[in-house]
Structure 1
Amino acid sequence: MKYGLYDRPPAGTSILSALQWMIVAVSSSVAVPLMIGDVYGLRADEIGNLMQQTMFFVGLASLLQVWIGHRYPMLEGPAGLWWGIFIILAQLGTSVGLAPREIGQSFQLGMCLAGLLFVAFGVMGWIGKLQRWFTPLVSGTYMILLAISLCSNILTGMLGIGFQHSKEVQPGVALVSIGIVALVVWVMRTKRFSSFAVLFGMVGGWVLYAAMGWTDPVRPADQLISWPTFFFWGAPRWDWGVVLTSMLTGFVLLTNLVTSMVVMGKATETVPTDSQYNRGGIFTGVSHLLSGVSGVVGMIPLSLAAAVIQTTKMAARLPFMLAMIGMMLIGLFPAVAHFLAALPTPVAYAAMFISYTQLLGFGLKDYATVKMDERTITVGGSSLLIGIGVMFVPATAWQKLPALVSFLFGNGLLLGVIVCLLLEHVVFRKQKGNQTEKDGHAA
């Protein structure tokens, strides 16, 4: 490690490192507002405003964490689980007569409640204790179902369906998407630039789209500086389905918080303390509260930061803090946000494709840690089959049921995880005496 957590690199090194952190932060955040805007039917100016909000609050949440939270240089970025849920429930909500903006209003409240959950558990020191509910079987089921539920939107976007109002597959767009995915994979295999693979894919794809004349002009900003606003989607509203999904997602993300800090400890050659875990939980809750109040996708610590530190051998906090202040400044200038919002959505989907595959990979890795006996196959197989099967039931089939029932039984992701929790901890609960009994038989 060239520079440890509390080292102060020379001014030039700090500035270059801060610029690199800004590039990583932008590349890990820019695609999410574009995809949310595409699915929710936002206008170009609204996508630009959402982009601006995202950049500002990513910088603010990350700065609070590294300053007084867990104190690691770890990005607080849009959680893959959160924007996945955003996309899924937009489709489910439309099928039961809810406008996309109403879903966004409910999510604002749901993220605030999830944030309060994190804060409460961090204050009471419960974060470690609650992990026992989310066994590898439960978290693996969640990740696998999330990846499967997202695959339709991902491939639809990569094929150009919906791009520039097209309702058919665009062969040219599809070929370029394949090329972008190949570029990202190739860059990831290089040691020097692997941390910037997504950024390379986005920039390369954007340049190619511009050369082909497939890009829209960048919308000029109406003002030089614009402060972030509260409740992007409108006043918060209560919806049982969205609130339950948000609380469940919050529980699952507790696992992400702990694992991210473990990985960061290894990258920085330190061991996280109990107080760091609790402070990290409290300020992850603060990040969720900021997300709910601002209307951006829920933010969590991203283990991507550990990969950056391992590659650069730079763990110093100062450059990271400077970079997050820079992110907040980007969020104050609409012209920068509108420029980033002009990135074509198929490019964003293609550049992030490998990131989506990681969700499935995480689920499969969790399953791989569990012994595949009859109990595991029954619990995991039943949960996956129920969750995936519900995804193939037409959304219109649930319309005549109450709204809460429609969201529960029409959401394969939520239903599959609830089934897994019940089977794992209630129906097929492991008995403490099982191991003793087995040992007795063996003797």
Structure 2
Amino acid sequence: MTLLNVPSYRYGLEDRPPRWQNLIYGLQWLAITVPLIIILGKIVARIHFTDPMAQITYLQKLFFITAVMLLIQVYWGHRLPLVTGPAAILLVGIITNAGSPMDAIYSSMMVCGFLLTIFSATGWFTYLKNLFTPRVVAVILLLIAFTLIPTIMNLVIAPEAEGSPLQHLLFSLLLLLVVVALSQRLSGLWKSTLIIWAMLGGSLTYYLLFPQGPSESAQVPFLASFFRDVTFHVSLEPALIVSMLLCYVALVINDLGSIQSVGKMVLADRMPVRISRGVKVTGLVNLLSGFLGIIGPVNFSLSPGVIASTSCASRFTLVPAGVFLFVIAFSPKLIQYLGNIPPVVIGTLLLYIMCSQVATGLRIVFESTDPLSMDNGYIVGLPMMLATVVSFLPPAVTASFPALVRPILGNGFVIGVLAVIILEHIIFRTEDLERG
């Protein structure tokens, strides 16, 4: 496979830069990937475990599975310069179903990963494509951000950390304003790696403002394998599978959009084949993620900015990043150092990341026909309101729901997705037909 001649790129899709340059490019990709793994991984690890060593082991598995997907995609999947990492939408699924046993949650991910692989291998996506109109896609993108608000709020307030909730809130607002201001003024690689600088600068500032008392840190070896901690038992709950399946619908939309945007940018050939292989690899690796008991990965949409800033479209520049991710996966001591990020900083940066999600969703809405119509208002607004209400229901209320339907009725994202599909394809479709 060859890339069409694109004179604006120093290295094309199939070019191999010199070793030292390839290493530098790989480190740039690594600088983008590591913060996202740490931010999302620490949130999920804290939900599942209170033991610091168990949290580090979870992050080891997450670094490992990200490296596996990255290298398989580069050499066999979509074969594009496209970075991967844990999927934010699966974070939504895990948080909203946190009351379910871990084995049931990750068994559901295994089932969904298997179905995703089958759909991509058989071409069933063509039958589902009409279901995801621009308004449905926009609402799904918005729902991912809005249903994470309770989690972001708890991270920002951080009642268990040094300082008062008000101090944490003020710190978070100031950090967010600084990050947004820098994102508007920086360009090129500095803008692409803004998250890692914000993570480092924010953590340093936090510890200067809120000095931490002496604490006993876990004795962590420098090198250690996590395979001995893989103990998995299949536990299938139909309602939980349905709940996670709707989360995977959003994951597929993200995956397809990322592959298509990068493929278009580098003028890659045989895009239908690349998309089919890329989604198939995503499904298989998510199946493996479920077996390992960790959040599944997805292809990120951050790659076009990196390609534009470096003028390098070679897929082989991601290979060093994948190798470094493997090294980090077997170095718990390094992960311990990387994971010393205050919850307030994690919550603030997650809020910043979700802002781009909201911007993308709103852009799709305003690019549609008659974006300010009442129909658009109901189709977009009602699912958002329902999802927000369900997301803020007290745990005692959701616990009172029947166990069989709790993963559906207690999941704001699922309620929002079902609502927008009903509004788009049943209620307002009927009105459109009557008007016609």
Using a 3 Å threshold, how does the CA distance of structure 1 residues 272 and 229 change in structure 2: closer, same or farther? farther
- Change in 2 beyond 3 A, CA 1:406/1:206: same
**Conserved 8 A contact 2:156-2:172:** yes
**32-41 vs 191-200, greater mean Cα deviation:** 32-41
1:348 aligns to what SS in structure 2? helix
Deviation, structure 1 residue 361: 2.2
- Report 1:129-144 matches (<5 A): 129-144=127-142
- With normalisation by structure 2, the TM-score equals 0.88
- Indicate the residue corresponding to 2:6 in structure 1: none
- Does residue 187 of structure 2 align to residue 191 of structure 1? yes
Structure 2 CA distance for aligned equivalents of residues 429 and 158 of structure 1: 41
Q: CA separation in 2, counterparts of 1:400 and 1:11? A: 59
Rounded to whole Å, the distance in 2 between the matches of 1:120 and 1:335 is 39
State how 1:351-430 maps to structure 2 within 5 Å: 351-370=349-368, 371-372=370-371, 373-429=373-429
Map 1:122-271 to 2 at 5 A: 122-163=120-161, 169-171=165-167, 173-189=168-184, 190-192=186-188, 193-212=190-209, 213-214=211-212, 219-222=218-221, 224-228=223-227, 231=230, 234-271=232-269
TM-score normalised according to structure 1 size = 0.87
2:296 and 2:127 mapped to 1: Cα distance? 23
Q: Which residue number corresponds to residue 60 of structure 2?
A: 52
| Equivalence for 1:334 | 332
Helix, strand or coil for the counterpart of 1:77?
A: strand
How far apart are 1:315 and its partner, in Å?
1.5
The answer to whether the 8 Å contact 1:395/1:410 transfers is no
- Aligned-partner residue type, residue 171 of structure 2: V
1:398 positional shift: 4.4
Distance in 1 (CA, whole Å) between partners of 2:172 and 2:65 is 30
> 1: CA distance between counterparts of 2:341 and 2:179?
17
Aligned to 1:15: 23
Instruction: Quote the RMSD (CA, aligned, Å).
Output: 2.6
Structure 2 unmatched runs, 5+: 1-8
What secondary structure sits across from 2:147 in the alignment? Answer: helix
Kindly state the Cα deviation for residue 404 of structure 1 after the two structures are TM-superposed.
2.4
* Deviation (angstroms), 1:156: 2.8
AA at the equivalent of 2:88: G
In structure 1, C-alpha distance between the alignment counterparts of 2:376 and 2:26, rounded to whole Å: 46
Counterpart position of 2:3: none
- Alpha-carbon separation, structure 2, partners of 1:231 and 1:338: 20
Q: Give the Cα–Cα distance (whole angstroms) in 2 for the partners of residues 222 and 385 of structure 1.
A: 47
Matches within 5 A, 1:94-105: 98=100, 102=101, 104-105=102-103
Segment drifting more, 33-42 vs 278-287 = 33-42
Q: State the distance in 1 between where 2:260 and 2:320 align.
A: 24
Describe the shift of the 1:406–1:225 C-alpha distance in structure 2 as closer, same or farther (beyond 3 A). closer
Partner Cα distance (2:161, 2:264) in 1? 42
Structure 2 counterpart SS, 1:429 = helix
What are the Cα deviations for residues 75-125 of structure 1, in whole angstroms up to 9, with x where unaligned?
A: 2211111112222322xx2xxxx5xxx1x3222112111111221111112
Deviation at 1:340, TM superposition (A): 1.7
Structure 1, residues 273-314: CA drift from partner, whole Å, max 9, x if none?
211111011101012112211222121100112211111111
The CA distance in 1 between the partners of 2:392 and 2:88, in whole Å, is: 22
Whether the 8 Å CA contact 1:88–1:150 is kept in 2: the answer is no
Letter in 2 for 1:380: V
In structure 1, what is the Cα distance between the partners aligned to 2:138 and 2:230?
33
Letter in 2 for 1:402: P
% identical aligned pairs: 24
Deviation string, structure 1 residues 1-45 (Cα, Å, up to 9, x no partner): 111111111222111111112221112211112112333453211
User: Residue 71 of structure 1 aligns with which residue?
Assistant: 79
Amino acid in the other structure paired with 1:17: Y
Q: Is the 8 A contact 2:88 2:144 kept in 1?
A: no
Using the alignment, how far apart are the partners of 2:176 and 2:412 within structure 1? 28
Counterpart CA distance in 1 for 2:411 and 2:243 is 9
Give the distance between the partners of 2:429 and 2:399, measured in 1 at CA: 35
- State the shift of 1:328 in Å: 0.9
In 1, Cα distance between equivalents of 2:228 and 2:316: 28
| Aligned residue-pair number | 422
Residues 181 and 201 of structure 1 are in contact (CA less than 8 Å); yes or no, is this contact kept in structure 2?
no
Relative distance call for 1:318 and 1:386 in structure 2 (3 A) is closer
- Matches of 2:119 and 2:431, distance apart in 1: 27
Residue-by-residue CA offset, 1:369-423 (whole Å, 9 max, x unaligned)? 3334454444334433333333454442344442122332222221121122123
Distance verdict in 2 for CA 1:258–1:349, change over 3 Å:
same
